[in-house]
Amino acid sequence: MSRRGNDQWISDLQSSGDEREAALADLHQIILRSLPYALNKWITTDDPRFQALAEEVAQETLLRVLDHLSTFEGRSQFTTWVHKIAVRVALTELRRKRWENVSLDELVEGSETPPLSHLMADSSPSPDDVVEGLDFTERLQRIILEELTEKQRQAMIAIAIKGMPLEEVAQRMGTNRNALYKLMHDTRLRLKRRLAHEGLTPEDVLTIFEKG
């Protein structure tokens, strides 16, 4: 494997001959070598999914590197820049795979009774806090059901409650990122108005789940 400086990487990748193919092959190996350490918090090499994920990430990273060569400013080593791209690609792919067999309908159906243990900061709440939290949860669910459209409800539950990546929700809903941003903005405004109508503020919602 050839040792290249930043300028040589850019020059080789912008060429159209053997230099480009050799640079791509070397970069592919560099990415594959870096992924086990970079991703060990989320997936290990013992996981049967790792090899396929690593190859998928390497190929996608190479495509992104070629598409964004002009944005490399030389403030770091070229391979460090590539490594950061690879990690972003890998984490996005891991989040996507987490949800690939879960439909939005399943998310909505499974969110009718959010567990208080995930919402309350105190792991041992008092009986009064538990009752108050349950009452408030039912009230909030009623507001969500009455105030939001089906699409708004799906998006809010998937993104804000279940933590599904925005890109994945947009794909499932047949829309794009910007349109989903707009949908979520409108959803928050509608909820804020309804909470105000019922004498509640967003701070009230946070407070009831942060007692402890």
- Indicate the length of the chain as a whole number: 212
pLDDT score of 116: 32
Q: Which DSSP category does 162 fall into?
A: S
CA 144 to chain centre: 23
Angle at which helix 6-14 crosses helix 18-38, to 10 degrees, equals: 120
119: closest CA among 211, 24, 53?
Answer: 211
pLDDT score of 75: 87
Domain with CATH 1.10.1740 in the chain: 6-99
pLDDT score of 80: 92
Cα–Cα separations (whole angstroms), residue 4 to 18, 110, 179: 15, 52, 43
pLDDT score of 195: 78
Domain with CATH 1.10.10.10 in the chain: 104-208
pLDDT score of 135: 59
Mean pLDDT, 10 residues at a time, the chain of 212 residues: 84 88 92 88 84 89 90 90 90 70 51 38 44 58 83 82 76 86 84 79 52 40
6-99 to CATH, choices 1.20.1630, 1.25.40, 2.60.40, 1.10.1740: 1.10.1740
Q: Considering only the top CATH level, what class is 104-208?
A: mainly alpha
Burial classification of residue 90, based on how many CB atoms lie within 10 Å of its CB (0-12 exposed, 13-18 middle, 19 or more buried): buried
Token duo for residue 93: 């792919």
Tell me the pLDDT tens digit for each residue of 66-76. Answer: 988 889 988 88
